[in-house]
Structure 1
Amino acid sequence: MLKAERVNFILQRLQALYPETPVPLDHKDPYTLLIAVLLSAQCTDERVNQVTPALFALADNAGDMAKQEVDTIRQIIRPCGLSPQKSKAIKKLSEILVQDYDGEVPADMAALEMLPGVGHKTASVVMAQAFGVPAFPVDTHIHRLAQRWGLTSGKNVAQTERDLKRLFPQESWNRLHLQIIFYGREFCTARGCDGRVCEICRTCYPNRKHPKKTLKA
């Protein structure tokens, strides 16, 4: 299969499997999505969704969250891991939103990336899913699958993001990054597929004899 053929097959197959792409993190607006994505770093979406109801019952907007003590936030989010850093980031970014943005989450990538605890991937998710701005958030799982499918030789997520944006039409980015995540969780897990097991891997590389070694992000 040529790369263009792989791209077309992947687009069509993922669209057939996942015509609907609900955001896995429970949220009601840009602020709650931002906090949920921040909490998801090195934590499962399922665990985040177990924690956020209590957190958002305490405070579901920047103004109320900025008034909370860091230790109070930390006690609630402890199950997500990295709670010392995340609780400080949540309080500080909430204070910044109140001071600089009237309590609203800015629909601006650069402004989001300046917030404490918000990296490029988190900002990309918010831009894509909260504001509908084309973005292609790439985490380590998407990075790994993109290598297995011959879409990138990226040594890091930044290069993989550039490659995927170049290969796929912009109008597909926001749903495609979720479709890849859904497919990876269901069929092409780190332990369940080594580049020779799942349908997409087998279709893209039917003659692959050895496990695909992927570069870590």
Structure 2
Amino acid sequence: MRLVVVSAGLSVPSSTRLLGDRLAAATAARAPAEVRVIELRDLAVDIAHNFTSGFPGRALADAFGAVAGADGLIVVTPVFSASYSGLFKSFFDTLSVHDPDALAGKPVLIAATGGTARHSLVLDHALRPLFAYLKAVVVPTGVYAASEDWGAEGLDGRIGRAAGELAALMGALPATRADGDGTDGDDTAGEDAAGALTVVPFEEQLAALRPAG
């Protein structure tokens, strides 16, 4: 499987990138995957040119392809003015113009970093609506890391819970290739006693992944 991390951190080293790396490592430990990190600061000029020309450069087009082809996505942004960064939003704006269905049905883990815990609501007030609009499937647990969270036990717990949810959704993705006998070869569809193909709705698959109680 392919797991892509999109990091909008600007500094080097970046706490935003660090959070993305920790989330990716925790997810890959639960669902083995090839991990690729896309640093948006390296694409800032290409993103600006895309707005004026309407065409992505080679590096930006490659990033678009990686995101569209991922089995799971981790997106991490620093907080600016109580919302996601302009660079973060610009990347997904240009992606949605280039490929409106790039994130449709894709499992996405949302995360953010900031200087104070007071901005933690950015996850539900800004990031979750954005990715719902892009038709992604956002995992229930988002991860926010304030300055005081680094090294704290609570952050590890949130990372583990969110990573588990993303790994479960990645594992529940339906197969994209049909087998030669006409079945799709995964657990989201099967045959009933009469031999007819039955499909389990995605909502039921997601409900089955939630812990009881």
The answer to whether the superposition gives a TM-score over 0.5 is no
TM-score, normalisation: structure 1: 0.30
Q: Specify which structure has the higher proportion of helix.
A: 1
